[in-house]
Amino acid sequence: MNGPWLDALILYLIGLFLVPNFRAGGVPRRLAEVIYQPFIRLGLWYRWSMYAPEVPEATRLGLTGIVKDDGSFEIVPLPGCDEGAGFGKARGLRFIAWQWALCDPMTDFLKPALCDYALRLWRRRSPAAGRGPGRPVAVEVRVYRYPSPAPGQRDEPAEPEVRTVFSRAVEE
Amino acid sequence: MPGWWHELFHAPVDPSSLALFRVLLGGLIVANATLYARDARALLDPDGMFSFGAWKNGPDRHLFSVLRWLPASRRSVTAVIAVYGAAGACLAVGWGTRWAAAAALLAGVSLNHRNRYVLHSGDALLRVMTLLMIFSDAGAVWSIDAAASRPAAAAGSPWALRLMQLQLALLYLQTALYKLKGRTWRQGTASHYATRLRAHRRRRLPDWLDGVVAHRAATHGALAAELAGGTLVWFDRTRLLAIGGLVALHLSLQLLMRLHLFQWTMLASLVLFFPGETTARLVELLWS
């Protein structure tokens, strides 16, 4: 490919890199999304942000099974996760944006999917545990938030604030 | 098109930096495939975090992945990981370079889209660079392709290399501008909080580096390095300074935080800004 066709391809690719990085909306944005549809499907339409404007707080997710007698147990760590770090360290210590994914309404399917996965794992580990008083009646996705000390202050061990972001009853 | 356009995108350049980046990119893809293989059961398998059924009908259903058309089995996942790793190895040695890049792109995208909730910006950069690698002359030197084609091909148009450089500069500039919107980055406390993220912390900072002044220097230094990565890196007189700042930034982050292959991906990409002649001389020095 040479001459004007090559220049047109270069301009097209420059647009692919630039457009997602602008906050333009409306018709121009929708038009660009049509023009670049094949690249969007390939995951090449990308807005660069190597770190959020505000550093996220130290959080982790936990999956907790609630059992019949009002007790509970943690279904962590999952495979590939270190104790205490939950999902945050899965995939070879790869960064996992669970805490963001769970805040995004587009990813609502994640929460029940995680609960199903946790239950599958739990049953795989202890096949006999699906019956009796220890049987889970619900699974909760919880966020553990660890407060950071102010700059200049010493780190002290602190209890996390725990918030349940999703709860699902276990079907019989 | 104006003269500067022709000079930037079409005037031939020494392809050595591009070839070195090809080797590094291939190595990164092999490493990424190895890590994928290790965690495939939890993250990619039909029995993993997302069943194939939920995934195929979920919000990512419009994203490309060959796994959609393959049987829902562990064997399919393993096959795609194997293709990804093999394509990375071919890219590193420059054997069928363009085809290897195309295979690496399709396999990598397929794995990424099977579970995109475990990705980071380094994955996106790998995808973009692999796409541009298909169009580049990265196999022109230090490759099996070059050894097999005699006489050696003349240096071609460097437009793909220029687009890689543009993308990298845009990445740093956009990131720095985005961070500047945040209070902690402007105040100079962002690194204090970042080094306390439990999921990513590799080691604690020594006390003498954990004070307010040191964190202010680190936070504003990171911003300055990223701004330089988008601007000063284009000028001969300031390029070395900009690259030096970015190397220091990524190495210190690698030392302190666990962020998968992100820092290595960024460090490898910085090679693209070296003049080809300099890279050729450095590699010759190292080999001799």
Task: For residue B52, give every residue at least 6 positions away whose Cβ sits within 8 Å of its Cβ, in sequence order, or none.
Answer: B46, B67, B72
Q: For residue A77, what pLDDT band results from cuts at 50, 70 and 90?
A: very low
pLDDT digits (tens, 9 = 90+) for A60-75: 677 777 876 667 776 6
Interface of A with B in 98-157 (CB under 8 A): 98, 101, 106-107, 109-110, 113-114, 116-117, 120, 146, 148, 151-152, 155
Determine whether the interchain pair B163/A120 forms a contact, defined as Cβ–Cβ distance below 8 Å: no
Chain A interface includes B163 (CB < 8 A): yes
Amino acid at B108: G
Answer whether B31's CB lies under 8 Å from B38's CB: no
Residue B252 has pLDDT above 80, yes or no: yes
AA identity, residue B43: L
pLDDT surpasses 60 at B197: yes
For residue B5, the model assigns a pLDDT of 92
B270 HSE (CA, 13 A, CB side): 25
User: Which residues 259-278 on chain B approach chain A with CB closer than 8 angstroms?
Assistant: 259-260, 262
Residue A78's pLDDT band, with cuts at 50, 70 and 90, is very low
* Residues B237-250 as b or e (16 or more Cβ within 10 Å = b): eebeebbebbeebb
Q: Which tokens in the block code for residue B192?
A: 């204090």
Residue with tokens 């001389």: B281
CB A64 within 8 A of CB A170: no
Q: Rounded CA gap, B159 and B164, in Å? A: 9
In tens, the pLDDT along B51-79 reads 888 888 888 889 999 999 999 999 999 99
The SS3 of residue B259 is: coil
Query: What is the side-by-side order of every strand in the sheet holding A58-67?
Result: A72-74, A58-67, A136-146, A161-169
